């Protein structure tokens, strides 16, 4: 049986992470349908560790960073075009919030074997449904929808992993690190590239 391992470093508010993760999910589904076993681990990254858990409109954050004339709506429409073949829609009214609690929830979900489903649900909530993924009530509801039992555990572990990610020199996301490869895939990736990396990882694991 083919076995592959991948570590995915990401942040919930990153549009490119959402696109690449959705493509990865499709490649992973094919791999598993063909009888492969895939172990997926998630590593947290915070694009804006100083963001408020209360959140603020993402358009305001964009204009603060890129200038008052930044066309937020146009940028989100462009992302929707890029994600059209994946069935993704990027809303205009997304809420930018501290992602620490969302990452903690991913760690909780992963311990319950529901990490992949939880990550997908968080991405969709933020980018397509304009929900505040820094709000505990929202996170509790999303956890239930993803089949995850709520827990307040894991904060210290997430802080430690964030420190390890920084120590590893990761400065942007997404990053896909496949077993058997010393060079990770960084940034937006095509489905074909992710599929090839996954199959190469399985070959490397088989020969190890």
Task: CATH number of the domain at 77, please.
Answer: 3.40.30.10
Q: Does the pLDDT at position 36 exceed 80?
A: yes
pLDDT of residue 65: 87
In the chain, at which residue ranges do the beta strands (DSSP E only) sit? 3-10, 37-44, 56-57, 95-96, 175-178, 185-186
Contact yes or no for 15/90 (Cβ under 8 A): yes
Each residue's pLDDT tens digit, 151-190: 999 999 999 999 999 999 999 999 999 987 888 999 999 9
Q: What is the largest CA-CA distance in the chain?
A: 54
Three-point CA angle 84, 88, 93, nearest 5°: 120
pLDDT on residue 180: 79
**Residue listed under structure tokens 């589904």:** 29
Q: What share of the chain is helix, strand, coil (3-state, %, to 5)?
A: 50, 10, 35
Q: Report CA-CA distances (Å) from 129 to 22, 71, 83, 112, 138.
A: 16, 20, 15, 25, 12
- Total structural domains in the chain? 1
Structural domain including 38 reads 3-207
The partner residues of 56 in beta bridges, in order of sequence, read 96
pLDDT at 208 over 80: no
Helix (H) / strand (E) element for 70: namely none
pLDDT at res. 205? 60
Please tell me which residue, 53 or 106, carries the higher pLDDT value. 106
What is the side-by-side strand order in the sheet with 185-186?
Answer: 37-44, 3-10, 175-178, 185-186
pLDDT of 2 = 86
Residue 181's nearest CA partner among 161, 204, 157 is 204
What pLDDT does residue 182 have? 84
Q: What are 69-104's pLDDT values in tens digits?
A: 999 999 999 999 999 999 999 999 999 999 999 999
């Amino acid at each position: 049986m083919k076995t592959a391992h991948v570590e995915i470093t990401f942040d919930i508010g990153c549009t490119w992470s959402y696109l690449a993760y959705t493509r990865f999910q499709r490649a992973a589904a094919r791999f598993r349908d063909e009888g492969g076993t895939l172990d997926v681990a998630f590593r947290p990254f915070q694009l804006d560790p100083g963001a408020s858990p209360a959140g603020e409109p993402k358009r305001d954050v964009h204009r603060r960073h890129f200038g008052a004339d930044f066309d937020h709506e146009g940028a989100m429409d462009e992302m929707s075009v890029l994600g059209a073949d994946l069935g993704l829609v990027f809303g205009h009214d997304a809420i930018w919030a501290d992602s620490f609690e969302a990452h903690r929830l991913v760690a909780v979900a992963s311990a319950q074997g529901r990490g992949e489903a939880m990550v997908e649900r968080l991405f969709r909530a933020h980018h397509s449904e304009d929900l505040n993924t820094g709000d505990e009530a929202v996170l509790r509801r999303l956890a239930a929808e993803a089949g995850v039992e709520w827990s307040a555990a894991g904060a210290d572990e997430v802080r430690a992993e964030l420190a390890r990610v920084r120590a590893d020199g990761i400065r942007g996301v997404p990053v896909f690190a496949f077993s058997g490869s010393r060079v990770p895939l960084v940034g937006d990736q095509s489905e074909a590239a992710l599929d090839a990396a996954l199959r190469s990882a399985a070959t490397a694991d088989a020969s190890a």
